[in-house]
């Protein structure tokens, strides 16, 4: 008898399995799409399940997290550092966070990467956390710590805690978010950004960036509200975040043959061809066209306040 996994936010049983996915298929997609070997991690699993919980969260079971060698190789081969830090790039979530943070407030940026948010926080006191990176002279205050380590020594120290495109990568999103909240002062705010489950990212067939060991959960507005409720936070806003660094994802979704919906990954030549087509045509469109103003947003931002 098939066991039903529990929602990693609410702890309630999943309501249905969206689809089973062969680990062998994902291993092949990672190698074919990015040249990244995942046998060492994914080879331990025969099959993943993509499940939907009562709160609207979709999640993979097992939730197998990418390790440091995986991300080092992925960022090298995928050239993501260049895309995330392109000259002149202004990420919409950074601008929104700058509006939220008041002058003189203390801000914690978890999973800060190259600390792009710091440029928008000249009016505040900024600290970034990145477990695999150290700050050098002249750079913002970046600390080589996990959020659990930082929360243990910095409870209720920050007015605003941000985590942009991080929670979908962790195996325990509730525990991760609980550590974020531990760092927030009473009356302070949490700002989370996640890829939107209903967006171009799920319209691309066999899009392995949206699968283990990279993305472990898919979010919508109801799932974000459920998370805030579990954390005893008051939801102030759930806002759409337009495309910025990820414009090629929009064009890939726009150009992709419409195969996804009931399933998202399939070992079939039509699906492999659809992925290659969406990549080639999407890349060409991204080089020529701007994102339409009416485009469905790429991500969602939760702004929630900790009670006094």
Report angle CA 103, 157, 215 to the nearest 5 degrees. 95
Across-strand partners of 22? Answer: 47
Asked if 249 and 215 count as a contact pair (C-beta separation under 8 A), the reply is: no
Cβ count near 80 (within 10 Å): 15
> What tokens does 308 get?
């006094």
Structural domain spans, the chain? 16-305
Of 10, 15, 19, 11, nearest in space to 53 by CA? 15
- Encode pLDDT of 245-304 as tens digits: 889 999 999 999 999 999 999 999 999 999 999 999 999 999 999 999 889 999 999 999
pLDDT in tens, the chain (308 residues): 569 999 999 999 999 999 999 999 999 999 999 999 999 999 999 999 999 999 999 999 999 999 989 998 998 887 666 666 555 667 899 999 999 999 999 999 999 988 999 999 999 999 999 987 655 555 789 999 999 999 999 999 999 999 999 999 999 999 999 999 999 999 999 999 999 999 999 999 999 999 999 999 999 999 999 999 999 999 999 999 999 888 999 999 999 999 999 999 999 999 999 999 999 999 999 999 999 988 999 999 999 999 99
What pLDDT does residue 244 have?
87
Report angle CA 267, 248, 61 to the nearest 5 degrees. 40
What pLDDT does residue 269 have?
98
The architecture (CATH level 2) of 16-305 comes to 3-Layer(aba) Sandwich (3.40)
Of 43, 50, 44, 56, nearest in space to 10 by CA? 56
| Cα(195)–Cα(297) distance, integer angstroms | 9
Q: How far is CA 227 from CA 146, 180, 192, 296, in A?
A: 20, 12, 11, 23
| Cα(108)–Cα(158) distance, integer angstroms | 7
């Amino acid at each position: 008898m098939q066991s039903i996994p529990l929602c990693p936010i609410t702890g309630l049983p999943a309501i249905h399995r969206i689809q089973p996915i062969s680990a062998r298929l994902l291993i092949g997609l990672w190698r074919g799409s990015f040249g990244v070997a995942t046998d060492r991690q994914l080879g331990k699993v025969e099959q993943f399940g993509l499940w939907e919980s009562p709160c609207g969260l979709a999640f993979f079971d097992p939730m197998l997290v990418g390790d440091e060698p995986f991300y080092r190789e992925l960022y090298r081969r995928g050239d993501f550092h260049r895309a995330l830090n392109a000259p002149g790039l202004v990420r919409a979530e950074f601008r929104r966070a700058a509006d939220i943070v008041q002058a003189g407030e203390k801000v914690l940026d978890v999973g800060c990467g190259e600390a792009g948010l710091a440029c928008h926080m000249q009016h505040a006191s900024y600290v970034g956390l990145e477990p695999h990176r150290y700050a050098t002279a002249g750079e913002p205050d970046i600390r080589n710590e996990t959020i659990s380590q930082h929360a243990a020594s910095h409870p209720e120290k920050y007015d605003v805690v941000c985590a942009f495109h991080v929670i979908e990568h962790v195996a325990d999103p509730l525990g991760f978010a609980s550590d974020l909240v531990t760092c927030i002062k009473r009356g302070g705010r949490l700002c989370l950004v996640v890829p939107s489950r209903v967006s171009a990212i799920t319209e691309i067939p066999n899009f392995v960036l949206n699968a283990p060991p990279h993305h472990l959960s898919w979010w919508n507005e109801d799932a974000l509200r459920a998370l805030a409720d579990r954390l005893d936070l008051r939801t102030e806003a759930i806002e759409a975040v337009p495309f910025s660094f990820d414009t090629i994802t929009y064009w890939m979704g726009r150009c992709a043959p419409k195969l996804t919906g009931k399933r998202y990954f399939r070992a079939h030549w039509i699906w492999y061809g659809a992925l290659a087509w969406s990549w080639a045509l999407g890349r060409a469109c991204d080089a020529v066209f701007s994102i339409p103003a009416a485009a469905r947003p790429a991500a969602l931002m939760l702004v929630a306040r900790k009670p006094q």
